[in-house]
Amino acid sequence: MENQKKASKSTVVKKLKATALASVYQKQWFFDLKERVIAGEDFAYLNADVPMEILRAMDIPFVVNQWWAAICGAKRMTSKYFGLLKDAGYRDDLCSYCATAFAESLDPDDHRLDAAGNPMGPWGGLPKPSIAITRLTCDCQGKIFELFSRQHGAAFYPMENTVPRKAPLKWYELAADRWEELYDPDRLDCAVEELHELIRFLEIKTGRMFDTNKLIEVMHLINVQEGWYKKTRDLIAESRPVPVTVVDTINAVMQAQWQRGTPWAAEHAQGLYEEIKALADAKTAAVPNEKYRLMWIGRGIWHDFGFYQRFEEKYGAVFMWSMYLAMGADAYIRNHVEEDPIRALAARYIGMEDFLHMPPWNSQWYLQQARQNHIDGVVYMVPENCMQSVEGSYFIKKTLEDAGIPVLLFKADPVDPRKWNAGTMTALVEDFIETRLK
């Protein structure tokens, strides 16, 4: 019990200016977006694997599902939301990432002010969307988005998902320039047609016209942004001591990724690199007594971000790798976009689920990243209620441990804290360090 109390009271220490700047920018951007919605503009709610670049090029305001779920989790609102979902007769184990916004829509207080005049919902609540778009990448995701759309009276637009017939082991060496070799040609053809259909839908729904030159501009800005992430990822990998932990990089990168395709996001990525480079050049240690370099596989524990820092002082264990920065470095860059920007965009988004959720695509990439980052141990969180994120966890763990890298695998929820016991989970990682790494 004492460990539980101590763990639950720990605070998150964020050291980078870039992390704070991203949070300030994102909050102001959200308030500005709400003003646009109030003024009558169409507003779209997207799943993370939807090609948001199309909406960026058409200047259609949107919010990404996984980012908003993280905000609700960080603001400690999800326990209330999922209680409302249960009270409404829905299952209590729906995927939290996908269901958070739908659960929020059941809250009658979400857009109200409390007695002190403060918003009751996170940042005043999600504005009412007129469009909801997801890809049919799992059986429940499409249904949850459909229910969300009905709740808000929004147009529901599902996109097909295709699966590969081949699995190149080193996809990260092919993705930027050789996507015709990476993917089956008919799979790319299908994705291109899907994008044209999406554009037609958005033009009719919003009255805005698609501009190919604007998409090229957006794609170029994304390449710049992700190029800085690649330099940052590689810099951290080769730095001893580690200059920064995932507490800063996850927040700085994730928030800017949902702004990708904007000048601000590209400039912020450059600023992030330069700030970390200065720390690395000065041999500044994120954890002064660094002893173990840890890799975090899975989504962030948004409701308890201090979890990552509980092992630094006692064990010299630094969580220095997450998928957020590493995927930016390897999965997003698409060169030569002028030749066919729609096909280049198709080549970006159709593989995201493969890279993250399908072995051997994911397992071989995790192994390559563990080796590049000189990882001593892996802590791997598998969500209890997300079929997609099971992702061949057996094969990931086996691939890493066969290579001599210890893995701690456990189940938890990234945004719903109701089953999270901070003391128990902290003790689990401490035991892993003491028995598997020492």
pLDDT at 31 over 80: yes
Lowest mean pLDDT among 169-173, 331-335, 415-419: 415-419
Give mean pLDDT, residues 349-353: 91
Name the 3-class secondary structure at 318: strand
Give mean pLDDT, residues 179-194: 96
pLDDT at 8 over 80: no
Residue type, 360: P
The rounded mean pLDDT for the chain is 92
Contacts of residue 227, Cβ cutoff 8 Å, sequence gap at least 6:
333
Backbone angles phi, psi at 327, to 5 degrees: -65, -35
C-beta of residue 131 within 8 angstroms of C-beta of residue 154: yes
Each residue's pLDDT tens digit, 202-256: 999 999 999 999 999 999 999 999 999 999 999 999 999 999 999 999 999 999 9
Each residue's pLDDT tens digit, 58-83: 999 999 999 999 899 889 898 999 99
What pLDDT band is residue 388 in, cutting at 50, 70 and 90? low
Q: How far apart are CA 349 and CA 194, in angstroms?
A: 12
Q: Is the peptide bond before 414 cis (omega within 30 degrees of 0)?
A: no
Strands ordered across the beta sheet of 62-64: 62-64, 44-46, 131-135, 155-159
Could you tell me which residue, 371 or 387, shows the higher pLDDT? 371
Tell me the sheet residues that pair with 409: 380
Six-digit token string for 363: 């397992």
Q: Give me the percent of the chain exceeding a pLDDT of 90.
A: 79
Six-digit token string for 107: 């809250």
C-beta of residue 323 within 8 angstroms of C-beta of residue 391: no
Each residue's pLDDT tens digit, 128-148: 999 999 999 887 889 999 999
Q: Is the peptide bond before 127 cis (omega within 30 degrees of 0)?
A: no
Highest mean pLDDT among 73-82, 89-98, 335-344 belongs to 335-344
With both helix axes pointing from N to C terminus, report the angle between 96-104 and 65-74 in degrees, rounded to the nearest 10.
Answer: 70
C-beta of residue 422 within 8 angstroms of C-beta of residue 307: yes
Backbone angles phi, psi at 383, to 5 degrees: -60, 140
DSSP state of 129: P
pLDDT of residue 97: 82
Name the nearest CA neighbour of 317 among 379, 410, 251: 379
Cα radius of gyration (the chain): 21
Residue type, 53: E
Six-digit token string for 258: 């949902």
